[in-house]
């Protein structure tokens, strides 16, 4: 990994760690997904560093940031991210989030509409959709499976994690695997504590978003979360949302199809660059 800046700020009452490429370009903040951390953006940050000052924070409980007992809801994480942006003195950065980080980015753009100049959403969870019906009895509990996976991580070695992920996702580049494994070994089990998370009124939040928005979607058959239906529902709340669909990609869109993903991100960032690059 390139030797970039590494630092900490106190934001929203927490010590939050970040990595930063630096430079004179416009600021771009990258908000990672659940169980990842800021270093998981390394390949993308290296591709953007020549044009942008890329800031990669670790969310609460992830990476080297503080891990309170809880809560770990989207509202809390959005407040953390807004606090970090303020603490670093960033002026209207673009914010790109993946999965959990995309939900954080959406919530921030709705609660602090004057903070981002633009937001990019890599396959967010469709939190704005009506809750699904109760599954039939005997259906595996997805959250219970996630809890078991997180609590089992300390028993894995870095080499085991890399080998397992390489086998599961043979299309990922080797540059993705090391940061992915390292983030899992730094993950706090407290991230599972969501019982006291503040509720979010998604329709109200979404209707307050005024900045340009790019929704980056993948193929549901390959594990992408956003469907045509949920994308249309988001656009009903935020009519100016633009969509970039990346074929042959799953939930980790950039890891599965880096070149077209980078092209979509770079084009949108240039278009919304305050300098008109």
Average pLDDT over the chain reads 94
User: In the chain, how many domains are there?
Assistant: 1
Angle at 170 between CA 183 and CA 248, to 5 degrees: 100
Q: Give 78's Cβ-side CA count (13 Å radius).
A: 22
- Cβ pair 155, 161 in contact under 8 A: no
Question: pLDDT band at 277, cuts 50/70/90?
Answer: very low
- Residue located via tokens 């890891």: 255
In angstroms, the CA 277 to CA 89 distance is 22
Composition of the chain by helix, strand, coil, percent to 5: 40, 15, 40
For 83, the token pair is 């606090």
Is residue 135 in some structural domain? Answer: no
Q: 3-state secondary structure string, 35-82?
A: CCCHHHHHHHHHHHCCCCEEEEECCCCCCCCCCCCCCCCHHHHHHHHH
pLDDT tens digits along 25-56: 999 999 999 999 999 999 999 999 999 999 99
135 pLDDT exceeds 80? no
Pick from 115, 194, 101, 180: which is nearest to 147 by CA? 194
pLDDT tens digits along 71-84: 999 999 999 999 99
pLDDT tens digits along 10-24: 999 999 999 999 989
CATH number at residue 191: 3.40.50.1820
Is residue 59 in some structural domain? Answer: yes
pLDDT tens digits along 182-208: 999 999 999 999 888 999 999 999 999
pLDDT at 2: 59
Range of the domain at 257: 5-128+141-272
Is residue 134 in some structural domain? Answer: no
Is residue 77 in some structural domain? Answer: yes
Question: pLDDT band at 274, cuts 50/70/90?
Answer: confident
pLDDT at 143: 73
Pick from 177, 151, 183, 182: which is nearest to 165 by CA? 177
Is residue 277 in some structural domain? Answer: no
Is residue 204 in some structural domain? Answer: yes
Which has more confidence, 197 or 274? Answer: 197
Q: What pTM was computed for the model?
A: 0.95
């Amino acid at each position: 990994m390139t030797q970039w800046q590494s630092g900490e700020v106190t934001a929203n009452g927490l010590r939050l760690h970040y990595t930063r490429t630096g430079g004179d370009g416009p600021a771009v903040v990258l908000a990672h997904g659940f169980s990842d951390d800021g270093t998981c953006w390394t390949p993308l940050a290296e591709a953007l560093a020549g044009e942008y000052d890329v800031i990669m924070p670790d969310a609460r409980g992830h990476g080297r940031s503080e891990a309170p007992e809880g809560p770990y809801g989207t509202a809390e994480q959005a407040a953390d991210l807004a606090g970090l942006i303020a603490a670093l003195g960033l002026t209207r950065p673009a914010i790109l989030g993946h999965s959990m980080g995309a939900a954080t980015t959406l919530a921030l753009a709705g609660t602090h509409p004057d903070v981002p100049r633009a937001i990019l959403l890599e396959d967010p969870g469709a939190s704005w959709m009506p809750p699904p019906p109760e599954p039939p009895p005997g259906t595996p509990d997805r959250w219970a499976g996630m809890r078991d996976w997180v609590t089992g991580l300390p028993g894995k070695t870095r080499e085991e994690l890399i080998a397992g992920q390489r086998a599961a996702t043979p299309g990922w580049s080797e540059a993705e695997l090391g940061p992915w494994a390292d983030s899992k070994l730094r993950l706090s089990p407290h991230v599972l504590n969501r019982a006291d998370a503040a509720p979010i009124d998604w329709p109200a939040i979404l209707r307050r978003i005024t900045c340009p928005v790019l929704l980056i979607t993948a193929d549901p058959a390959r594990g992408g979360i956003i469907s045509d239906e949920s994308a249309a529902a988001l656009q009903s709340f935020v009519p100016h949302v633009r969509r970039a669909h990346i074929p042959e990609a799953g939930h980790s869109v950039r890891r599965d199809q880096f070149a077209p993903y980078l092209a979509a991100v770079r084009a949108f960032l240039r278009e919304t660059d305050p300098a008109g690059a």
